[in-house]
Amino acid sequence: MKALAPGTVIFHRHRGYGVITAVNLLTGWIAARFGSESRTLDLNLSTDEVQYADGEAILFRRAPPDRMPHARLMAMVRALHEAGYQKLYLYSWPKPSGLHWRWHLFTGTRDWMQRSWREGWYGSGADYNVNPVMGWGDNPAATSEELIHALAKFDPQGLAQALGRDEDHTAWFAQVCDALLPGYMYSLDMQRPNGGPLTEMPPVPVIPVRAGLPQYNGPEIGWPPGWAGLWTKVHAMPARRINLTGIPEA
């Protein structure tokens, strides 16, 4: 399928030629302006028979992807672990509103609170709802293998840092994936209830990644290796260093 973005010229059999003004690749809805009309028209790419300007039909998927990217990321990380990239970690935690969950892939040293940041290796479910890609050149419906190839092409130096063994974390992650995939994801969050002290090893929340799924009732998910004792230490979230050079950091 060709690119779909604001500014793309399209053809509709009842309206003629128009221009896309907004697009949601998760739901398949677009807004388009036709002729001299002052308002936009909402169209569904799966049912409204929208075409490109050259007459090619826009055959959009009828089954949208997960509304949260975390399960897809979990499947990708498990495949990389099996290929020897065991020093790759996935951190998922909610925004303060609780409406969306952030995600962060990091490599090398297993330090959950002071993890390294690399451009393109983190994102939010809020952004994913509008444009369901991870951000490293992948496609909305990419498989785990396609996600891996896209990431390796986007940042080969970063992915190379994941080579190595971390057997206890890899075993934990495999058990979690067996219990949760494909419909659920885990959330790692150190909440402070009512301003009190952090709760030592609270239950790990499990969140469905698609609408209509029942609440998770499977085996309890434990915390990953490396979290023991974090509740009694000073908890400081990582602060990104200010970059004044204008050159992207590696």
Cα 60–Cα 135–Cα 84 angle in degrees, nearest 5 = 110
pLDDT tens string 195-218: 677 777 788 999 999 878 899 999
Res. 145: pLDDT tops 60: yes
Res. 102: pLDDT tops 90: yes
Instruction: Please count the CA atoms within 13 angstroms of the CA of 186 that sit on its side-chain side.
Output: 26
Of 120, 98, 2, give the one whose Cα is nearest residue 51. Answer: 2
Res. 191: pLDDT tops 80: no
**What average pLDDT score do residues 73-89 get?**
97
Q: What is the mean pLDDT of the chain?
A: 86
Kindly state the tokens that stand for 220. 């309890």
pLDDT tens string 46-74: 888 899 999 888 877 655 567 789 999 99
**What average pLDDT score do residues 95-113 get?**
89
Res. 237: pLDDT tops 60: no
Query: Residue 12 phi/psi, 5° resolution?
Result: -125, 135
Instruction: Please count the CA atoms within 13 angstroms of the CA of 124 that sit on its side-chain side.
Output: 10
| Burial class for 29, CB neighbours closer than 10 Å (0-12, 13-18, 19+) | middle
Contact 9, 18 (CB under 8 A): yes
pTM score of the predicted model: 0.73
**What average pLDDT score do residues 100-115 get?**
90
Res. 165: pLDDT tops 80: yes
Q: Which has the higher per-residue pLDDT, 26 or 83? A: 83
When computed from its CA atoms, the radius of gyration of the chain, rounded to whole angstroms, is 21
189 pLDDT tier (thresholds 50, 70, 90): confident
Q: Which has the higher per-residue pLDDT, 112 or 130? A: 112
Kindly state the tokens that stand for 124. 């939010």
CA distance 66 to 78: 18
**What average pLDDT score do residues 161-188 get?**
96
CA distance 11 to 201: 57
156 pLDDT tier (thresholds 50, 70, 90): very high
Res. 250: pLDDT tops 60: no
